[in-house]
A and B are shown apart, each in its own frame.
Chain A
Amino acid sequence: MGKSKFLLATIIRKIYLSFLVIISIGPLIWIIMSSFKSNKEILSSAFALPESFSFKGYTAALELSPIFQFYGNSLIVAIASTLINVIVISMAAYILARCEFRGKTFLTLLLSSSLLVPTSALLMPIYIIMTNIGLYDTKTGLILVYAALGLPTSLFVIKSYFQSIPMELEEAAYLDGAGFVRTYYAIIFPLAKSGLVTAAILQFLTSWNEFTFALILTKSTTARTLPLALSYFTSQFSFNYTSMFAALTMAILPSIVIYALLQEQVTDSMVAGSIKG
């Protein structure tokens, strides 16, 4: 009886895990497979294996769009905006989480309320500001805008995390002679690693996938980012699926490889805070 129960549990677990693997990896494999097929094969038999492994889609994708340059720009913009966002906002979140001062609630509400402003309402004012301060068509402009766009989300995540850290730890640090700044950087910042990583991941993904501001605030290939490159493969009356899937493969594979190599560090940092806390 016990043996058959154990067997049943194992089977259910395996089915569940297989299901998760299929829905996670399935679309990726489909994209990679489609990048080797002709448009005709994709349209007529979407799930069949390619008739032959042709790299024409890859060469066409590289000819049609400056994908590698956009990829490099995306990396710089996403990493820089994430760093600025997390470093600056974590300091603000610490003050809002720990210090008592007049107007604190108002300030917190004001910063959080920017989450409610629709992107379309921000487009024109930000465009005008960027052109007037000379940051139109620069990566710096995009970095600053993305770092600011992620402000309410990061503030909310990091502030909540700071509030969950016991005050006694800071009091102990003060008793041992640490100042305000040292307490923050030596005690609180490492303890909040988990919250910071969460905010950083959200911010990175927002910057990596953003399309509208990248379109409006840039005009040259020196500043444009990856999501814009993918528009090169469909227009109102023409499309090239093979090249689009080849471009997608080139866009996603490096990220997957980097994550696979660094996953241990990422997972470590995710759980580190919970153990220490």
Chain B
Amino acid sequence: MKERLTKLITVILVCVLFAGLLAGCSSSGKGDDVATDTKKEEKTTEKKEDTESAAQTEESSGVVEINFPTSWVGVSSNTEWFNDRLAAFNEQYGDKIKVNVEEIAGDQAYVDKMKVLYSSNSLPDVFSTGGYNLIDSMKDQLVDITDYIDEEWYNSNSEVCWDVNSRDGRIYGVPYSRQVIGYFYNKDLFAQAGITEPAKTWDEFFEQCDKLLAAGITPLSMDTADSGWVTSLMLGAMIAQTEEGEEFMNTLQPKDYNREDFIQAATMIQEMFQKYTTADAVGGKYENAASNFFMEETAIIANGPWMVSDFYDENMVEAGFAEKVGTAMFPGGVMYNSGKIGFNFASKTEEKLKASIEFVRFLTSEESQKKLLEMTGDIPSNINVVSDQVYPLINEVIENGNKASRNINDFQSLWYANVVDEISVQYPLLAQGEITPEQFADALSAVAKVN
């Protein structure tokens, strides 16, 4: 009996082994491309000759294939919008351009893969990191698309959006969205603490935090993981209290963080970690910070308008939660009001580049951006796009952006990628008092100087 069982298991395992080998060998010709029909003719990294022969094949069939990896899959807030736009693009351009979509779930995983592809000189035709700045570290392999942007296209987008995607006057990315970020607060919790309106200065902000604490309410949602997005937004807003600070928060790739305003802001962040936030802030991600705000365990969270749709999602929050949420500028009238890194191009042939630009032009058209605004709450880079079908809170955020006296850019777009990574290492040390704010500034400066 035992012998028969052993034989059976052996046969099954051998079959599985061969099935794996055969399936593996054959899978190179198959894909998960969202764009359907014909089989793939090429792999991501091909030798030059292969690329040329593939180009010839494409020419003869009249369809140009381009590769586009995306993290707009799964629970990403842009998934529904992207699938809708891709279907519309395929319908309109399917006989000319085929988009091979690679799904890479998770923003960090996406960036990691792009780094490996860059190292082996095999970046895809077009990619979008969702805000991470890879332009500076990958510029030598990116295509300068300045000559492909006509006047009409250029003028339809906000100047700040082109700025963040340009280097030395040359354009390396096409914007699709504008970052307008302040903070959200819980009006009910503010009322319980006797606070009537958002603070105008940081001193007043800390007084309000004390009032909230006295009322038994944890004032702030904070995080440290994944570059501590929520926390770093506060840090940047604190730095930008003066003209010099505002200039620093609009400077691309600063190397020296040993500045008085930066150290002062880091001191305030340290105090926030130690007195005014939740226990899970150290080591926590955005989702921990957001959950605490959704559950009304904290009164304040810094973030952009893409979060607003969650305020209405009864799977996330209590019914009527959105009515309790207010929007505010950071103290000193500071708002993040800038462009966002958009679509970058690394096509190796002119034909593929033109097809990639056509694809991106479609994704950033007025119609697509209007849908983006309505479906995700992401504020369009196109200045002509307006819609009356958006949540009122999103309009409030845009209004705050228009009224802000100081406008800054966010750290993920400005600072070196290794500095952004280093923040997650240093925040827990700062929070636990293992390093001083001066040492925090030193650590970031040291990492920046490696570049």
How far does the alpha carbon of A222 sit from the alpha carbon of B46 in the complex, in Å? 20
Determine if A169 is an interface residue (Cβ-Cβ < 8 Å).
no
Determine if B144 is an interface residue (Cβ-Cβ < 8 Å).
no
Determine if A156 is an interface residue (Cβ-Cβ < 8 Å).
no
How far does the alpha carbon of A236 sit from the alpha carbon of B43 in the complex, in Å? 29
Determine if A113 is an interface residue (Cβ-Cβ < 8 Å).
no
CB–CB A235/B27 < 8 A:
no
Known: A44-B295, A239-B287. A138 touches B28 (CB 8 A): yes
Q: What residues of chain B lie closer than 8 Å to A235, measured between beta carbons?
A: 71, 74-77, 105-107
Q: What residues of chain A lie closer than 8 Å to B294, measured between beta carbons?
A: 40, 43
Determine if B13 is an interface residue (Cβ-Cβ < 8 Å).
yes
**A-B residue pair count with CB separations less than 8 angstroms:** 159
How far does the alpha carbon of A239 sit from the alpha carbon of B294 in the complex, in Å? 13
CB–CB B122/A131 < 8 A:
yes
0/1 interface trace, chain A 128-144, chain B, CB 8 Å (1 if under): 10011011111111110
CB–CB A124/B116 < 8 A:
yes
Interface residues of B in 87-130 (CB under 8 A from A): 102-107, 109, 112-113, 116, 119-120, 122, 130
How far does the alpha carbon of A43 sit from the alpha carbon of B5 in the complex, in Å? 47
CB–CB B105/A138 < 8 A:
no
CB–CB A80/B120 < 8 A:
no
How far does the alpha carbon of A242 sit from the alpha carbon of B314 in the complex, in Å? 13
Q: What residues of chain A lie closer than 8 Å to B314, measured between beta carbons?
A: 40
CB–CB A131/B32 < 8 A:
no
Chain A nearest CB: distance from B68 CB in Å? 11
CB–CB B77/A231 < 8 A:
no
Known: A236-B229, A240-B75. A143 touches B122 (CB 8 A): no
Chain B nearest CB: distance from A53 CB in Å? 16
Tell me which of A40, A66, A128, A132 contacts B316 (CB under 8 A). Answer: A40
Q: What residues of chain B lie closer than 8 Å to A38, measured between beta carbons?
A: 315
Q: What residues of chain B lie closer than 8 Å to A40, measured between beta carbons?
A: 294, 314-318
0/1 interface trace, chain B 229-249, chain A, CB 8 Å (1 if under): 100000000000000000000
Q: What residues of chain B lie closer than 8 Å to A76, measured between beta carbons?
A: 16, 19-20, 23
Q: Classify the secondary structure of A's interface with B.
A: helix
Chain B nearest CB: distance from A249 CB in Å? 17
Tell me which of B19, B46, B77, B116 contacts A127 (CB under 8 A). Answer: B116
CB–CB B28/A237 < 8 A:
no
Closest B-chain residue to A84, C-beta based? Answer: B17
How far does the alpha carbon of A212 sit from the alpha carbon of B112 in the complex, in Å? 9
0/1 interface trace, chain A 201-220, chain B, CB 8 Å (1 if under): 00000000000100110011
Q: What residues of chain A lie closer than 8 Å to B130, measured between beta carbons?
A: 236
Known: A128-B120, A140-B24, A239-B75. A222 touches B16 (CB 8 A): no
Tell me which of A43, A80, A236 contacts B16 (CB under 8 A). Answer: A80
- Count B-side interface residues using an 8 Å CB cutoff: 60
Chain B nearest CB: distance from A136 CB in Å? 6
CB–CB A231/B23 < 8 A:
no
Closest B-chain residue to A134, C-beta based? Answer: B28
Determine if A243 is an interface residue (Cβ-Cβ < 8 Å).
yes
Determine if B45 is an interface residue (Cβ-Cβ < 8 Å).
yes
CB–CB B75/A243 < 8 A:
yes
Q: What residues of chain A lie closer than 8 Å to B62, measured between beta carbons?
A: none
0/1 interface trace, chain B 10-52, chain A, CB 8 Å (1 if under): 0001001101110111011011110000000001111100000
How far does the alpha carbon of A84 sit from the alpha carbon of B20 in the complex, in Å? 12
Q: What residues of chain A lie closer than 8 Å to B226, measured between beta carbons?
A: 236
Known: A232-B105, A239-B287. A140 touches B25 (CB 8 A): yes
Q: What residues of chain A lie closer than 8 Å to B30, measured between beta carbons?
A: 220, 222
Determine if B251 is an interface residue (Cβ-Cβ < 8 Å).
no
Most chain B Cβ neighbours within 10 Å, of A134, A215, A223, A237: A237
Chain B nearest CB: distance from A247 CB in Å? 10
Interface residues of A in 15-69 (CB under 8 A from B): 38-40, 43-44, 64-66
How far does the alpha carbon of A44 sit from the alpha carbon of B317 in the complex, in Å? 9
Most chain A Cβ neighbours within 10 Å, of B30, B74, B303, B306: B74
Determine if A189 is an interface residue (Cβ-Cβ < 8 Å).
no
Determine if B73 is an interface residue (Cβ-Cβ < 8 Å).
yes
Chain A nearest CB: distance from B381 CB in Å? 18
Determine if B310 is an interface residue (Cβ-Cβ < 8 Å).
yes
Q: What residues of chain A lie closer than 8 Å to B359, measured between beta carbons?
A: none
Q: What residues of chain A lie closer than 8 Å to B104, measured between beta carbons?
A: 215
How far does the alpha carbon of A136 sit from the alpha carbon of B27 in the complex, in Å? 10
Chain B nearest CB: distance from A139 CB in Å? 3
Known: A43-B291, A123-B116, A131-B43. A136 touches B20 (CB 8 A): no
0/1 interface trace, chain B 249-288, chain A, CB 8 Å (1 if under): 0000000000000000000000000000000000000110
CB–CB B27/A238 < 8 A:
no
Closest A-chain residue to B71, C-beta based? Answer: A235
Q: What residues of chain A lie closer than 8 Å to B106, measured between beta carbons?
A: 231, 234-235
Chain A nearest CB: distance from B125 CB in Å? 13
Closest A-chain residue to B5, C-beta based? Answer: A265
Determine if B307 is an interface residue (Cβ-Cβ < 8 Å).
yes
Q: What residues of chain B lie closer than 8 Å to A243, measured between beta carbons?
A: 75
How far does the alpha carbon of A229 sit from the alpha carbon of B73 in the complex, in Å? 11
Determine if A184 is an interface residue (Cβ-Cβ < 8 Å).
no
How far does the alpha carbon of A235 sit from the alpha carbon of B130 in the complex, in Å? 11
Q: What residues of chain B lie closer than 8 Å to A139, measured between beta carbons?
A: 20-21, 23-24, 27
Determine if A173 is an interface residue (Cβ-Cβ < 8 Å).
no
Tell me which of B13, B19, B77, B120 contacts A124 (CB under 8 A). Answer: B120
How far does the alpha carbon of A135 sit from the alpha carbon of B27 in the complex, in Å? 9
CB–CB A238/B76 < 8 A:
yes
Q: List 21 A-B contacts (CB under 8 A).
A: A39-B316, A80-B16, A80-B17, A128-B120, A134-B28, A135-B28, A137-B31, A138-B27, A139-B21, A142-B24, A219-B102, A220-B27, A220-B32, A222-B27, A222-B31, A234-B106, A237-B303, A237-B306, A237-B307, A238-B77, A239-B290
16 A-B pairs besides A132-B47, A142-B24, A228-B109 with CB distance below 8 A are A64-B75, A65-B73, A75-B16, A79-B13, A124-B116, A127-B116, A136-B44, A137-B43, A138-B27, A139-B24, A219-B31, A232-B105, A235-B71, A235-B76, A236-B107, A238-B75
List 10 tightest A-B contacts by C-beta distance, closest first. Answer: A232-B74, A140-B24, A139-B24, A231-B105, A221-B32, A231-B106, A76-B20, A222-B27, A80-B20, A138-B24
